[in-house]
Amino acid sequence: MSYNYHKNKSLIDREAGFTIIEVLVALLLFAIIIVVLVPIMIGSLKMNRQTGQQLDTSTRTQQLLETVRGEWADRVKYDKACAATLSVPAGYSVTSQPLDSRAAIVGGSTATNITTTCPATIPPSPPAMRRVTVTSGAGPQDTRLTLDLLRPQ
C-alpha cells in the first residue's frame, strides 16, 4: 500500500502547482501589458497637466478682462483709462486702444497699458469705444482675449 501512496502523492504534487514555464509565460504576458499601458498612461497624465495649465491661464486672463470691464462701468475710470483694482501678474499684459463708434482704430493710435493709478484730469475727448486686450505670455500656453467696450452713459 505504501507504493500506491507514493504514486498518488507524486500525482497530487504535480497537479497542485504551476510549472516554471507557466509562471514565465504569465510574467511575459504581464510585462507586455505593462509595456503597452505605461506609455499611454504617461501621455494621458502629461496631457492632463497641460490642459490644467491652459485652463489656469485662460481663467486668469478672463479674470483680468472682467476686472477692467467692471472698473470701466464707471465713466470716470473709463475716460481716464485706469483700473485701480487691477493687479497684473508677471507674464501678462493688459492694454487698451481707442476706437471710434464703428469699432475702427482712431487715427493710427497704438495700444497702451492700462494703469492702476488714475490721472488727475480726464482727457479732453475720450473715445466712444475702447478695445481691451489681455495677453498671457506665461508658460507654453499663450492666451489673448479682446473685448470692445462702449463708453458708459
Q: What is the pTM of this model?
A: 0.72
Q: Which domain holds residue 12?
A: 2-150
pLDDT given for residue 11 in this prediction: 56
Report yes or no: 111 and 95 within 8 Å, Cβ to Cβ: yes
Residues of the chain with pLDDT under 70: 1-16, 138-140
pLDDT at position 36 is 94
Count of the separate structural domains present in the chain = 1
pLDDT at 122: 86
| Cα–Cα distance, 71 to 78 (Å, whole number) | 8
Q: Which residues pair with 145 in a beta bridge?
A: 134
| Per-residue CA distances from 5 to 12, 13, 136 (Å) | 10, 12, 82
In this predicted structure, what is the pLDDT of residue 141? Answer: 73
